[in-house]
Structure 1
């Protein structure tokens, strides 16, 4: 099945749900504050479906462009309002009420993330144990005394049950800098000892951090297995199918999936021979590899998703599952950690310490949505939690046209005792729109580059 057949509906479900949650925050608080809501729309543009409440008169819309949504409230700035209805207009409310209505959207996104992480921890978080792979000489990891096969069980006193936990924690520590204590064992269940990893001046960029430290996950030997031959790609055209074990390529034994990936990349556009095992029998398969350009280099492409056949790999898999009560503080901590890390990484982007290539747009989000949906329910819920946090943080930025920009205007109004002039607010909105368009353009540019590579 082509990836987009899952990515597109998963993306629509994810964005639709998260936008609905965000806008419902504005909607619910506005109603509680006595403001009349004229329309609650999921999506922008033309109405695809809608109904009007006979009791409140609110229109509920499902609109054509599924990249956002809005709540339209009664407001004298947007049109004439009858005298009898003026007490229900948004602009007639106190500054405190207006701030509460605006802040409710991001607040509900944070609440959604907490609930989502709570569900994930109860369903079970699958991952790979934080076992270190080969440690190159003259790296910070080597200087700390780390070596292949060791388990990093905690960083600065914070447990790291999976490689993903280790990754997020080290990114946080890179932002702080300095020496970081690691608790390591020489094998699972062994006695822990402390080593100190020097992270002074190391890049916090997720794309560069682990290379600079000299850390990578442990990769045991294991025969690469075709998990899926993508439709229309060289693997599919050659007759490869799910479950085929790739024993050798061009006569060279393949010790693990990465070895096969590296070998394929080194033979762009060539017709090669793969030795596979299928249903207990070995055979040779001829494959005409595609060629593509990545970072200016011509590389080969097989067009298959790979798995691995290895008991040792299976032993590296782990799962963290918590009860309903224990999952509550874990969900709160995870939401806080992801939120704080997002803010700090954004700050580092502004000063150039973190690459702008880390910004993703709708195409990459759809890609992640499809991949997590294909893995399972808990992975997709975890993805929703992460995007919900990102949506909340982004909306709280003090940029006009975003919720944070409106909150900034209201904060100035509180200090001055009167609002900014309409001209100043309009100019701020225009600047905010330009900034948002530039950010969206950058996100699309990054997405396209990822597609081409």
Structure 2
């Protein structure tokens, strides 16, 4: 229940901030363009709070916190007193109308820059981009345990999250990418990940796994969590024993134990298992046993399970000084905008599944709650991305969105007269149908990804 309440709370906070800034952009430019604003509302439906300002504008917080609006004086929506005709939106020049409509998305882009700047100044704790295990394509490229990923393509990767965000688009595009690394020995090298060899269809949510990379911080330490009665390790190994070597081969993480046991089990002879038990180092003799599961192939086993590892401490910090954070925030906003536009293109072209592209309120709420629990900098980064997404999506040329209105005004500039009321009415119906379909897809994805899986 606490997770549910937290998710709802952070969803309301996030949408409240983003919608307020978006609508304030419309409001601010409209007032300076000489347009009378009748109502500035955060949320839809019945107002929970309403106050009339000295300028005659009603300021409201409404019951449904999934959007907002700025209602301006407009002859198309009601009678306008002769003395106020000059303040009606529809009487403004096309350039003023363009400025007013574009101001909402622009406000979200500016907010994105400000949030990224604040995130960089605070500093976002993360994990170092160190390879813990390389298999498949990653191993074939020459990546090895202990390599530090310095840059992927032309993007520097000071943390693992940055490396992950750089790898995913390349994987989705099946594009080979250069990886600049510092090896465990301290030498800098460039490797090429042949991502063009990825399967045509793979789990897009696990793109880094498909490449064969496991970061160091996700390695499971070779510490015994439990011992199964009746199997070889029973009475020999104990909980909290740290396995350091098997038959002379050093063990660094839990995933190395299984393959070693399979190889040695075929001998049918005892092997030496070296463990650290408290302050003692012990060499214990064990013979792997053959286990036949109810379903699946038989395998060799010692009869131990890994201890549940604690969350590793963050060992990297993405941070800049206040001055250096300004260009960093601008670069990050531009980069993420390009990536978002590219992702929209992939979705329309069918190169990525829409179920992993369009997120609904449940997914956003859970993400907001999770990021908030990781700290202020992480939450700010998520809020910046949401603000950017809201700004760019609102610029899509879909009627009822800001981008649809801008399209009408561009047509007006070309033809020299406004788009007809009939055309605008048809566009509104088409736009509402598209938005309804998009919302339906978002809710479907929410149910599929959060409730079914």
Does the TM-score normalized on the shorter chain lie above 0.5? yes
Cα displacement string for residues 278-313 of structure 1 (whole angstroms, at most 9, x for unaligned residues): xxxxxxxxxxxxxxxxxxxxxxxxxxxx98448xx4
Contact 1:222 1:309 in 2 (8 A): no
2:225 is aligned to: 247
Structure 2 counterparts to residues 337-356 of structure 1, below 5 A:
337-356=335-354
How many pairs align?
Answer: 379
1:394–1:370 distance in 2 versus 1, CA, 3 Å? same
1:116 aligns with 2:94: no
Give the Å deviation of 1:208: 4.9
Contact 1:41 1:61 in 2 (8 A): yes
2:81 is aligned to: 82
Give the Å deviation of 1:221: 3.2
1:32 is aligned to: 32
Structure 2 counterparts to residues 103-252 of structure 1, below 5 A:
103-136=102-135, 139-174=136-171, 178-187=175-184, 190-200=186-196, 206-218=204-216, 219-222=218-221, 247-248=225-226
Give the Å deviation of 1:248: 2.6
Give the Å deviation of 1:191: 2.0
1:323 aligns with 2:321: yes
Contact 1:175 1:344 in 2 (8 A): no
Cα displacement string for residues 18-45 of structure 1 (whole angstroms, at most 9, x for unaligned residues): 1000000000000000000000000000
Cα displacement string for residues 203-261 of structure 1 (whole angstroms, at most 9, x for unaligned residues): 7984253244222323333489xxxxxxxxxxxxxxxxxxxxx92386697999999xx
Rg bigger for which structure? 2
1:92 is aligned to: 91
SS at match of 1:97: helix
Give the Å deviation of 1:133: 3.4
**Cα distance between partner residues in 2 of 1:48 and 1:128:** 44
1:427 is aligned to: 426
Contact 2:222 2:254 in 1 (8 A): no
Give the Å deviation of 1:73: 0.2
Give the Å deviation of 1:7: 1.3
**Cα distance between partner residues in 1 of 2:318 and 2:345:** 31
TM-score (normalizing by structure 1) = 0.78
1:183–1:63 distance in 2 versus 1, CA, 3 Å? same
SS at match of 1:99: helix
TM-score (normalizing by structure 2) = 0.78
Cα displacement string for residues 304-324 of structure 1 (whole angstroms, at most 9, x for unaligned residues): xx98448xx43x621122100
Structure 1 stretch displaced more, 40-49 or 190-199:
190-199
Give 5+ residue unaligned stretches, structure 2: 234-238, 243-251, 256-306
Contact 2:73 2:89 in 1 (8 A): yes
Structure 2 counterparts to residues 381-400 of structure 1, below 5 A:
381-400=380-399
1:444 is aligned to: 443
**Cα distance between partner residues in 2 of 1:423 and 1:322:** 53
1:283 is aligned to: none
**Cα distance between partner residues in 2 of 1:72 and 1:258:** 61
Contact 2:172 2:351 in 1 (8 A): no
SS at match of 2:150: strand
1:415–1:177 distance in 2 versus 1, CA, 3 Å? farther
SS at match of 1:363: helix
Structure 1 stretch displaced more, 348-357 or 64-73:
348-357
1:197–1:333 distance in 2 versus 1, CA, 3 Å? same
2:285 is aligned to: none
> Over the residues paired in the alignment, what is the CA RMSD in angstroms?
2.6
Give 5+ residue unaligned stretches, structure 1: 225-245, 260-305
**Cα distance between partner residues in 2 of 1:68 and 1:205:** 32
Give the Å deviation of 1:8: 1.2
SS at match of 2:215: coil
Give the Å deviation of 1:372: 1.4
Cα displacement string for residues 87-123 of structure 1 (whole angstroms, at most 9, x for unaligned residues): 1000111111101100100101111111111111111
**Cα distance between partner residues in 2 of 1:47 and 1:353:** 43
Give the Å deviation of 1:157: 3.8
SS at match of 1:399: coil
Structure 1 stretch displaced more, 31-40 or 144-153:
144-153
Contact 1:132 1:148 in 2 (8 A): yes
**Cα distance between partner residues in 2 of 1:447 and 1:142:** 35
**Cα distance between partner residues in 1 of 2:338 and 2:177:** 19
